[in-house]
Amino acid sequence: MPGLSDVPIGLVVRGYTFIRDKRLDAALARLEADGITIADLEKSDYRFTAFTRMVAALETCSSNAMMEKLVDYLMAGVATATIDEKPDVFQDVLSNLAKLRESQVEILAEMRKREMRDGESAEAFQKGAELEKWVAEKYGVDEDTAQQLIVALSQSGFTQSRYPTFSDLNGRTPMSHRLTGLADLLLDMVYYRCRL
């Protein structure tokens, strides 16, 4: 059976270039359809930097659906002026969004739907257990794995998770999970574009 080393490097590069260019063409077409031109993005350093970050993210994003979310976020930033008013925060959120998978964005949306903004109360831990069960069912994993998938989102800065002060050492300990201000900004912007 041939391995990856048996594939000519030129073929790999052409495939990579094809996918990158196809995603960029699709992104540019969506921007243009929304009335956003390259000239609009060149109006300020902030806009152009956000555009170049989005282009770089197109190369590594996990799917075409994530590409759409990146474009939605950029378009919402231009439409709401957030890209100009809060450029550092906007670009941080864009960079972190680029690292997520579609399933992680779905988890964030579910957390928003469940209004998970409190991380301290007993209700927060109840909501955390319910979210862990939802993730386990949706993605076909056990609840411990679901918990770790949710906790991993905290590396993006979009969520915070914590254990309760006291726990049952004989059983599974649910955690509280909450959205951060960065998640609210992201979800507000993506919701603005596609009603997530």
The tens-digit pLDDT sequence of the chain (196 residues) is 556 566 677 766 777 788 888 888 999 999 999 899 888 888 889 999 999 999 988 888 888 888 888 898 898 888 888 889 999 999 999 999 999 999 999 999 999 999 998 777 888 889 999 999 999 999 999 999 999 999 999 999 999 998 876 655 556 677 889 999 999 888 888 776 654 4
Q: Where are the domains of the chain?
A: 4-99, 102-185
Q: Which CATH class name applies to 102-185?
A: mainly alpha
For 156, the token pair is 């993006």
For 179, the token pair is 């959205």
Its pTM stands at: 0.82
